A and B are shown apart, each in its own frame.
Chain A
Amino acid sequence: MYAIECKNLTHYYGRKLVYENLSFNVEEGKILGLLGKNGTGKSTTINILNGFLQPNSGECLIYGENTQLLTPETKRRIGFLIEGHVQYSFMNIHQIEKFYSGFYPNWNSAPYWELMSKLKVTPKQKISTMSCGQRSQVALGLILAQDPDLLILDDFSMGLDPGYRRLFIDYMREYAKAEHKTVFVTSHIIQDMERLIDDVMIMDYNKILAQQPIGQFMSGFRQFNITLTSPDEEIDMDGIAVNIDKVKDKIEFYTYSKEDEVKGYLNAKGITYTAFEEKKMSLEDAFIGLTRKY
């Protein structure tokens, strides 16, 4: 059963193509991380999911409803964290809790107040005067109190220091797993994602490069380093490498193939080398390996 289904999305800004025939699904109970460089369409996707952008063609469904036409009942099942933890900052923490509680019949203020008790804020302090980290806890607390089935978190790590990022991630992961919540999350800070997500979706310009369980991606996508015996040799690894970086005689390449397949390929191509090494990658390394450094 899917919480989110996006089918054949095509969108342009003016003449600039963002993506064409993009399709993906998010299974209920999973935490999916959407990764991509700036301008690859992460925000566009979030905006389509939240009904703030009509794609040129295709559609996204949340719990079977077109996101452009979500009913209040379905919107009640979706918790939405806006990039930068935007909230009604003209309110204080009591006012904002009172405001939102009127909209959600299952409102549970306990987790909100638990998080608020950790913040060093005065009861009447406006949210606008809080630090970014404190605001992130207010936004998170409100979502937890709403108790939605699906959480859409747009760049949750923006502006947060490492402590607040870790707090946010650990709280979110524990909550989502304990309560069987579906989470769709984007972040610029990729190392955060590794602790949080079940599935990864990596976007590049106009397309999806990978969508699979994070464990499968991390074990299946590999980095190998070799040193060429003839540094000036022109090498062609298009048949096996997703990306390749060559600095003098050092070759760094990324592939979905295993060590013996790679060695077989190099031998078949007549590429002579020394210092063959498989390098262990973090998610950030793998992301850069897949999307290139520039």
Chain B
Amino acid sequence: MLKSLIYKEWIKIRLVVWIALGLSLVALINIFLKVRHDILFVDAANYWYSFLFRGVVFFSILKFLPFIIGLAIAIAQYFPETVNKRIKLTFHLPVSENGVLIWMHTFGALVILTVFLVVLVLFTAGSAIFFPSNIIRASLLTMMPWFLGGMATYFLVALILLEPMWIYRGLYTAVAAGFVTVFYTGASIGAFRPVLMPLALITLLLSFVVLFSGYRFRKGEM
């Protein structure tokens, strides 16, 4: 059953996943071509200095990529379930209603996590060619809220899409927009370090909110 469910979810999101990976690759190539160019024409020491002390972020092109990926995968996965209330078919499968939502959600989150890990690994590998480890570590810490924001976006968009009432959808969207903005406020190097753990915890808690929309749908809210 799980294999079947994953099969269906993969059919819905696979195109978006390949596009997301392609876009990420293009963004990474762009970053490292620019870094190579700048280091050749400026010199490495000055370039590192501008990053460490003047807050010049050489990977800012990645900032909204996780948000876009989280948003796109959530829409690709959950919007088809809302068309003609197709979620009824999913809830009618011989699996518990919460169970089916948890599996769908876990699969979506794992796919996003995989895409993010691929991006982060490639970024780290590319950075290792040009930068010392402390710059790479600082870069990853700077990016972490963006990737957490991508995850939070996925969880919140799923909540919004499965919610049966438009007025609640509007309310959730307003709250979600305010909340997701927190992950993308400012870009100083490592500025989010002290709040990374709380943000990660909140993101983890958000993974369960989709069950509330599922519950409301099953109770016949409309």
B86–A88 CB distance below 8 A = yes
User: CB < 8 Å: which of A53, A82, A102 contacts B84?
Assistant: A82
A-B contact count (CB 8 A): 70
B107 → A minimal CB distance (Å): 14
Answer whether residue A175 sits at the interface, using C-beta atoms and an 8 A cutoff: no
Answer whether residue A213 sits at the interface, using C-beta atoms and an 8 A cutoff: no
Which A residues lie within 8 Å of B5 (CB)?
102
How far apart are the CA atoms of A86 and B87 in the complex, in Å? 10
Once A86-B86, A104-B94 are accepted as A-B contacts, the answer to whether A99 and B4 lie under 8 Å apart by CB is: yes
Once A86-B86, A88-B80, A90-B12 are accepted as A-B contacts, the answer to whether A47 and B220 lie under 8 Å apart by CB is: yes
A79 → B minimal CB distance (Å): 9
A262 → B minimal CB distance (Å): 44
How far apart are the CA atoms of A73 and B95 in the complex, in Å? 8
How far apart are the CA atoms of A99 and B2 in the complex, in Å? 10
A131 → B minimal CB distance (Å): 16
Name the residue on B nearest A104 (C-beta): B94
A100–B94 CB distance below 8 A = no
Which A residues lie within 8 Å of B220 (CB)?
47, 52-54
Closest 7 CB pairs of A and B: A102-B4, A53-B220, A76-B94, A72-B94, A86-B84, A75-B94, A80-B92
Name the residue on A nearest B7 (C-beta): A99
Once A82-B84, A88-B86 are accepted as A-B contacts, the answer to whether A103 and B94 lie under 8 Å apart by CB is: yes
B11–A95 CB distance below 8 A = yes
How far apart are the CA atoms of A80 and B91 in the complex, in Å? 11
User: CB < 8 Å: which of A86, A98, A101 contacts B89?
Assistant: A86
Once A53-B219, A88-B86, A90-B12 are accepted as A-B contacts, the answer to whether A78 and B7 lie under 8 Å apart by CB is: no
